[in-house]
Amino acid sequence: MSDFLFSGLNLALATPFDASGKIDFGQLEENIERHIDAGITSFLLSSGTGLHAYLSRQEADELVERGAKIINGRARIMAQTSALLVEDVVARTRHAADCGAHGVMVLPPFFEGPTSDDDVFAFYETVGEGGLPIIGYNIPVNTGVTITPELFRRLIEIPNFVSVKDSSADLVAQADLISTGLPVINGADPLQPYSLYAGVAGVIWGGANIAPKTCAAFVEAGMRKDWDQARELWQSLEPLMSHIWKGDYVQSVYAAAAITGYPVGAPRRPFSELSAEKLSVLRPIVEALPE
């Protein structure tokens, strides 16, 4: 196993909500306990799958604090601390450090933000003042920023910058990042087996909320290069992971998690619940999982 701190499977935990749309911390505890029992050894709190963008600063901070207390040293902890203002990112990162997080995932400047490499570098350099290892988040379709191999090599010079999570879903572009020899994390669910074979250092996986035991076993097999076992496990996961990636990702994860016994309620507005028609298509795919 790699000595990279965030190797293997890092679960992008879905944030549970109650009927009124508030974070359900009782369900959060129950789900974390079940995920740990299923073999999850690393959690990303306030993830994109967990609707980080639709949590207030106070909610996100409380989610990280209470999630860390529940985990209580039994697994690694990442926190997403992305925000529009870099000062807020630093403050959120310091809070995550105080809660015992091992690292943070941070989007580059987004929503009409600067896109030059120099400005992106300066942004992450400032984020480094938060005092935790930083995983940059490469998702160009949402940010307008592409972390290229050249930029990656510059960013890794920042003392606290350790990796890039690539959710571009472009395997060729990801292979270029991997070719730098620096640790890359895959964030595109359908690419998991191909990314592991190409040499990623780890994965951050929202779909693992649905089948954590099988996903953990699959990633473990891939990390030790047991491709026969990895292929066998992936054959059971692929129909679902390809299906949810094609549209309504968050709604599908929330609906599917409930089907497999990890209820997270309805996704928060502006998302609506998955329609009855789409749920009828999703359900048999989920029920075919080995768990």
Domain membership of residue 2 (yes or no) is no
**What is the domain count for the chain?**
1
Domain-located, residue 278: yes
The CATH number for 235's domain is 3.20.20.70
* Residue 229 within any structural domain of the chain: yes
Question: CA-to-CA distance for 291 and 288, rounded, in angstroms?
Answer: 9
Q: What is the pLDDT of residue 226?
A: 97
What's the pLDDT score for residue 291? 62
**Residue holding tokens 């990042």?**
177
Which tokens hold the place of 190? 């359908």
Contact criterion met (CB below 8 Å) for 84 and 110: yes
What digits encode the pLDDT tens for the residues 179-224?
999 999 999 999 999 999 999 999 999 999 999 999 999 999 999 9
Distance CA 35, CA 279 (A): 24
The pTM (predicted TM-score) of the whole model is 0.94
In a domain, 1, yes or no: no
Distance CA 236, CA 221 (A): 14
Does the pLDDT of residue 15 top 80, yes or no?
A: yes
Query: Is 181 part of a structural domain of the chain?
Result: yes
Domain that holds residue 28: 8-287
Asked whether the predicted pLDDT for residue 290 surpasses 90, the reply is: no
Distance CA 172, CA 38 (A): 32
* Angstrom distance (rounded) from CA 253 to CA 98: 30
pLDDT on residue 28? 98
Q: What is the pLDDT of residues 248-281, one digit of tens each?
A: 999 999 999 999 999 999 999 999 999 999 999 9
Q: Give the pLDDT band of residue 171 (cuts 50, 70, 90).
A: very high
SS (H, E, C) 87-143: HHHHHHHHHHHHCCCCEEEECCCCCCCCCCHHHHHHHHHHHHHHCCCEEEEECHHHH
Tell me: the pLDDT tens digits for 29-84? 999 999 999 999 999 999 999 999 999 999 999 999 999 999 999 999 999 999 99
Domain assignment present for residue 3? The answer is no
pLDDT at residue 112, rounded to an integer: 77
Whether residue 43 is contained in a domain is answered as yes
Residue 102 within a domain: yes
**pLDDT for 1:** 42
With pLDDT > 70 as the criterion, what percentage of the chain qualifies? Answer: 99
Residue 6 makes CB contacts below 8 A (sequence gap 6+) with 42, 76, 78, 102, 103, 135, 162, 163, 183, 185, 201, 202
